[in-house]
Each structure stands twice: as structure tokens, then as C-alpha cells.
Amino acid sequence: MDTPSLPYAHDALEPHISEKTLSFHFDKHHMGYYGKLVAAAEGSEWATASLEDIMTSGPASMFNNAAQTWNHTFYWNSMSPNGGGAPSGDLAAAIDAAFGSLEAFKEQFNAAAGGQFGSGWAWLVKDADGHLSITTTGNAGCPLTEGVTPILTCDVWEHAYYLDYQNARPAYLAAWWNVVNWDFASANFA
Ligand code: MN
């Protein structure tokens, strides 16, 4: 398991996600999960295992910190200072095929992300047949363990948005589309 890194500066997603939010979210939350995982795995056969192996085959006591470490790295990469706009190519065609249009996809994703009760994640995933769907997971849940391929994720834990948007999760979701990394999503879809 590699030490997590933030793939851009703490202030790179402003004004949509503030430097303060990214500082707490990466430095405290993400690195906190990672630190607890390292401490739990130290001296065991899992100390050198991949996050994916710990998530799928490791002790249940390590799952939450391993999955939260994996999920956050996937979330940082789901966003980019040069993000937003629209997908292109095969991913754009697959979104149209699955949801009717990009706007319809966004509406359904927002409804799922906004409707996730309590802490969790909203995901765009691809099944074995290449079909796209939207799913949500509670707490540390990750679709990797359900045999589908994550394409994109949005963190809907309150720590992801409360400093910037307080209780207004829909306002955070609206802002989030401005930083969505479609290049990352396309690479995951390919
Ligand atoms: Mn988070």
C-alpha cells in the first residue's frame, strides 16, 4: 500500500471545493484512515498487501480503513482543476445509451448522491457487459467488492462539503460537476 497523495494543490479546486476543505479532507481524514490501516497491518501478513487484497480478502477489522484509503484516492482522481464539461468518445456514447443523455445521467446521479442516507459514496460503475449504472455505498463501502468496475465517484460524507456548503449537499453536488475528471472516467471505462 502506497502512501496516498493528493494529485493537485489543496487550493486547485477552488472556488468549487475550498483549500480548507481539501486540507482537512486529505490531510486529516484520508491520511487518518491510511495511518490507522498501517498501524493495524503492521507486523502482519497484510503489511505489504495491496489495498484491493485487504478489501477483498483481509480481516474484516481492516476493511473500513483500507476501503476509505482506496475510495479517497479514487475520489481525488475523479476530480481535476481542468475538469467539468462533458465526456467524449466511448464513455459519452455509453452514458447516452444507459441514461438517455448527459443531463439525464447528472439528474439521476444527483438524486442517488443526494438520497444516500448518512455517510457514503455515489458511483458510476460498469458491469462485466460494459453497461453503466449508478450505485451508492454506505460508510466505507466500495463497488469493487461487488464485482463491478468503478468509473467515477463522489464522496457524500458531510466532511466532504460541510465547511463549504454546510447542510446543502445538493449545492456541493452542483459544484462538483464543475471539477469532474472525464479523462479519468474514460480511462476507467476503456
Ligand atoms: Mn471523505
Q: Which CATH number applies to 19-77?
A: 1.10.287.990
pLDDT surpassing 90 at residue 30: yes
- For residue 134, report the phi and psi dihedrals to the nearest 5 degrees: -105, 135
Residue 15 has what pLDDT? 98
pTM tops 0.95, yes or no:
yes
Ligand 1 center to 75 CA (angstroms): 8
State whether CATH 1.20.1050.10 applies to domain 89-189: no
Per-residue pLDDT reduced to its tens digit, 77-112: 999 999 999 999 999 999 999 999 999 999 999 999
Ligand 1 center to 155 CA (angstroms): 6
For CATH 3.55.40.20, the residue range(s) in the chain are 89-189
Residue 2 has what pLDDT? 86
Confidence at 119, pLDDT banded by 50, 70, 90: very high
**Cα–Cα distance for residue pair 55/65, rounded to 1 Å:** 9
Per-residue pLDDT reduced to its tens digit, 123-155: 999 999 999 999 999 999 999 999 999 999 999
For CATH 1.10.287.990, the residue range(s) in the chain are 19-77
Ligand 1 center to 32 CA (angstroms): 11
